[in-house]
A and B are shown apart, each in its own frame.
Chain A
Amino acid sequence: MDAILEHSKEQKMEPVIVTESLTKVYKAPLEPSVTALQDLNLEVYPGEVFALVGPNGSGKTTTLKLLLGLIFPTRGTARVFGENPRSVEVKRRIGFMPDGPYFYGHLTGNELLDFYADILQIPRSQKKQRIEELIELVGMKGRSHLQVRTYSKGMIQRIGLAQALLNDPELVLLDEPTAGLDPIGTRDVKDIILKMRQQGKTVFLCSHLLSDVERIADRVAVLHQGRLIRSGTMEELLVVKGRFEVQASRLSAEALEALGRMGEVLEVADSRIHLLLEEGEALQKALAFIEAKGGHLDYLAPQRRTLEEVFIEAVREAVGEEVIE
Chain B
Amino acid sequence: MATATQVQAESKRGTLLLHSWRAIWAITRGTFKDTWRQRIILVLLVFGMAVLPASLIFSWLSAGEEIKFVIDTGLGTILLFGLLMGIFMAASMIPLEIEHRTIFTILSKPVRRFEFVLGKFLGIALTLLVNILLMGVVFLVIYGVKQVMLNAPPFQNFVTLIQALFLLYLQVMLITTIALTVSTVASLWFNIIFSFFVYFVGNMSEVIHHISTHTQVNALRLLMGIFNAIVPHFENFDLRQKLLLGDPVPWGYVAQVVGYTAQYVVVMFLIAYLLFNEREF
Contact = CB atoms under 8 A, between A and B. Distances in A.
Interface of A: 65, 68-72, 88-89, 91-92, 94, 96-98, 100-104, 106, 115-116, 118-121, 160, 163, 167, 173
B23 A96 contact: no
Contacts of B110: 88-89, 91-92, 119-121
A96 B108 contact: yes
B101 to A, nearest CB: 4
14 contacts: A70-B107, A72-B280, A91-B110, A94-B108, A96-B105, A101-B104, A103-B105, A106-B34, A118-B25, A118-B29, A119-B26, A120-B110, A160-B105, A167-B109
B23 A121 contact: yes
B102 A103 contact: yes
A88 B112 contact: yes
B26 A118 contact: yes
Given A98-B101, A119-B26, A91 B37 contact: no
Contacts of B280: 65, 70-72
B108 A68 contact: yes
A111 to B, nearest CB: 8
Given A70-B281, A102-B102, A118-B30, 4 more contacts: A68-B108, A115-B26, A119-B23, A163-B105
For chain B, give the interface size range.
Answer: 20 to 34
B105 A98 contact: yes
B27 interface: yes
B100 interface: yes
Contacts, number: 74
A143 to B, nearest CB: 20
A288 B271 CA distance: 80
A270 B102 CA distance: 59
A102 B26 CA distance: 19
Contacts of A103: 102, 105
In the complex, which of the residues A71, A88, A101 has the most CB atoms of chain B within 10 Å of its own CB atom? A88
Interface in B11-62: 16, 19, 22-23, 25-27, 29-30, 34, 37
A71 B281 contact: yes
Contacts of A118: 22, 25-26, 29-30
Contact of A119 (B34, B101, B106, B281): B106
Contacts of A65: 280-281
Contacts of B25: 118
A65 B22 CA distance: 25
B133 interface: no
Interface in B90-144: 100-102, 104-112
B53 to A, nearest CB: 30
Given A71-B280, A115-B26, A121 B101 contact: no
Contacts of A173: 108
Q: Which of A89, A120, A160 has the most CB of B within 10 A?
A: A120
Given A71-B281, A72-B280, A121 B105 contact: no
B108 A119 contact: no
Given A70-B280, A98-B101, A119 B29 contact: no
A92 B101 CA distance: 20
A91 B108 CA distance: 6
